[in-house]
Structure 1
Amino acid sequence: MPLSETLPVGADTAQWDVWGTVARIVVTAPARLAEAETMLRAELAAVDEACSRFREDSELRYACRAGGRPVSISPLLADLVAAALDAARETEGAVDPTVGGVLCGLGYDRDFAALAGCEVAPAVRVFPTPDWRSVKLAVRELTVPDGVLLDLGATAKAAAADRAAARIATELGVGVLVALGGDIATAGPGPAGGWQILVRDRPGDPADTIKLPAGAALATSSTAGRTWGRPGEMLHHIVDPATGRPAVPVWRTVSVAAYSCLRANTLSTAAIVRGHAAPGVLGKAPSRLVTPALDVVRRGGWPA
């Protein structure tokens, strides 16, 4: 289930499963919904072809198999890699795109829809220690060190939501909300009173219903949303690059509102990784942190 969702669902809304989560699009003009859905599906397909680490034919996998040689890449992949490297720089490495090998070693080596519910045997593969500074991007030329597997999951989904929302609003002249699981972007004019968003992890968990202004975004990162088991332990998908292990679950979820979904996701992911130091990471950003005991901490003027 999505970590955040719009309320209510009606004729202005379409949703479907993608990337092991739920894609949802809402428009302020229901007559344009079918066109908007087609545009969003096309954007997600292009992003998947560019940077999925689960597709042998993706551009990203080709670059990672180049043996450390520079590879010419598409403008889309260049934008997505640049966003990932910017996030790593801004968070001092807390959000690091070179953790792909670590995730594979932990068992997250296939699309999460295929992984969910499986018990994964411990891996014996050895991968380089994550270090985003080893990846070089010069306009449209990407160099990935030999043996490094990039994973853009921490930023590409949020960037895709931003890109799709902006394009749909511009080309169709509507207000739009794009939600990809816990990553939500809006563009164009919003509905009267703003976009109403239900923020919670699972049914029965603490919930907030917030009003998101037109053009704002929201991202939720979770240590409970994408988990899998292997003998003797349960794992989640947010890796601490400093340890090569899933981040210690000081927070069950962190939600952040910002001017872009990419920015919100960068902060929410970094907050999960930094654990007790999350307040320093978040600064004055409107945020909602939930502990494993389901206590809720609201900071920075979290929207009501």
Structure 2
Amino acid sequence: MSSTLVSPGQAQWSRWSTDMHLLVTRPAALAEARAVVDAELDAVEIAASRFRPDSEICALAAADGARTPVSPVLADLLEAALAAASLTDGDVDPTVGSALIALGYDRDIDQLDPAHPRVASVSIRSDWSMVEFDGRSVRLPAGVLLDLGATAKAVAADRGAKLVYERTGSGVLVNLGGDVATVGPTPEGGWRVLVQDTDDDPASHVVLGDGAGLATSSTCRRRWWRDGDIVHHIIDPRTGQSADPVWRSVSIAASNCLAANTISTAAIIRGRRAPDWVAALGVPARFVDRAGEVRIQGGWPQT
């Protein structure tokens, strides 16, 4: 998780079982900025929540293979998810919904008892190539359930920050549970951000400028018991199981939050191969391994 340290005007609240944090350089713009971000979160939720029976994602799952029109919001989210899948050679796959359910993640994480074992169920094997999307409608094979959790929150952070700047003219930082996006003028010295996944993890302080994205993917949050084992929410689509927790967390800085989140999620899935892959992409990265040892590369912007 990432949290900001500089707060010229700020709001904090909880949603989607995580902490939300909004900062603006013009405090007078805060109320309007919060309304803009809330509206964006509402739109993303009704489009892409697995836990709302009235969401578009659930409607697609019930379409039994029929081609279905989608809203502009879901179209943007699908485009982002499929781009992430392409960039990562399928490591970040939007069709892992049934695998998550099979692992027991069938309701909001706040409603799961992490100490109570879940019983495994059968997962329908699928991959992102099965998604037929033409920009306005989508067809999924019967039984395939989308899960856009790896990208939708990052898209919401990017879109929310952009909209706040366009509507108010204020510099803004949007932090949606560690998915961070900035747009517009910054406070003096930049946006200072604390990067720390859990309270007992090593911390890093970074400075972000205008048009920055930052994301942390974690194997230590969103965990629960299943068949006697602790599992987490980042799925290796090739196995349908939680990715091997080689890394406690991976943090990536990029030009937008979607790119940062895509790479950090894929890095968790790639495990020991991740540092070389991320280095080839040329983005700043911070890896925290099982033992809590930190590895930084690519010009990680720590202060």
Equivalent position SS for 2:206:
strand
Query: What is the CA deviation profile of residues 176-205 of structure 1, one whole-angstrom value per residue up to 9, with x for unaligned ones?
Result: 000011100011111111110001112242
Q: Which residue of 1 aligns with 2:260?
A: 264
Q: 1:89 aligns with which of 76, 86, 89?
A: 86
Q: Residues 209 and 110 of structure 1: is their aligned pair in 2 closer, same or farther, counting only changes over 3 Å?
A: same
Q: Which residue of 2 aligns with 1:184?
A: 180
Separation in 2, partners of 1:78, 1:287: 30
Residue 112 of structure 1, CA deviation? 1.2
Counterpart of 1:300, as a letter, is G
TM-score normalised by structure 2 residue count: 0.96
Equivalent position SS for 1:57:
coil
- Residues 289-304 of structure 1: pairs in structure 2 closer than 5 A: 289-304=287-302
Counterpart of 2:17, as a letter, is G
Separation in 2, partners of 1:130, 1:257: 30
Separation in 1, partners of 2:161, 2:117: 36
Query: What is the CA deviation profile of residues 214-249 of structure 1, one whole-angstrom value per residue up to 9, with x for unaligned ones?
Result: 111100000001111134111110010111110001
Q: Which residue of 2 aligns with 1:250?
A: 246
Q: Which residue of 2 aligns with 1:201?
A: 197
- The answer to whether the 8 A contact 1:267-1:281 is kept is no
- Residues 1-304 of structure 1: pairs in structure 2 closer than 5 A: 3-9=1-7, 12-117=9-114, 119-124=116-121, 126-282=122-278, 283=280, 284-304=282-302
Equivalent position SS for 1:62:
helix
Residue 120 of structure 1, CA deviation? 3.9
Separation in 2, partners of 1:279, 1:234: 25
Identity of aligned residues (%): 52
TM-score normalised by structure 1 residue count: 0.96
Larger mean Cα displacement after TM superposition, 20-29 or 277-286: 277-286
Separation in 2, partners of 1:46, 1:116: 28
Separation in 1, partners of 2:16, 2:50: 12
Separation in 1, partners of 2:290, 2:91: 21
Counterpart of 2:214, as a letter, is L
Which consecutive unaligned segments of at least 5 residues does structure 1 have? none
Residue 21 of structure 1, CA deviation? 0.5
- The answer to whether the 8 A contact 1:119-1:231 is kept is no
Residue 150 of structure 1, CA deviation? 0.4
Separation in 1, partners of 2:210, 2:22: 15
Separation in 1, partners of 2:167, 2:31: 14
Query: What is the CA deviation profile of residues 1-51 of structure 1, one whole-angstrom value per residue up to 9, with x for unaligned ones?
Result: xx1000045x61101111110111000011111111111111101100011
Residue 116 of structure 1, CA deviation? 4.8
Separation in 1, partners of 2:6, 2:189: 14
Residue 93 of structure 1, CA deviation? 0.6
Equivalent position SS for 2:95:
helix
Separation in 2, partners of 1:277, 1:130: 24
Q: How well do the aligned residues superpose, as a CA RMSD in angstroms?
A: 1.2
Residue 118 of structure 1, CA deviation? 5.1
Equivalent position SS for 1:220:
strand
- The answer to whether the 8 A contact 2:132-2:140 is kept is yes
Separation in 2, partners of 1:89, 1:23: 29
Number of aligned residue pairs: give it: 300
Equivalent position SS for 1:85:
helix
Counterpart of 2:79, as a letter, is A
Query: What is the CA deviation profile of residues 239-279 of structure 1, one whole-angstrom value per residue up to 9, with x for unaligned ones?
Result: 10111110001111000000010000000000000001102
Equivalent position SS for 1:252:
strand
- The answer to whether the 8 A contact 1:224-1:252 is kept is yes
Q: Residues 235 and 179 of structure 1: is their aligned pair in 2 closer, same or farther, counting only changes over 3 Å?
A: same
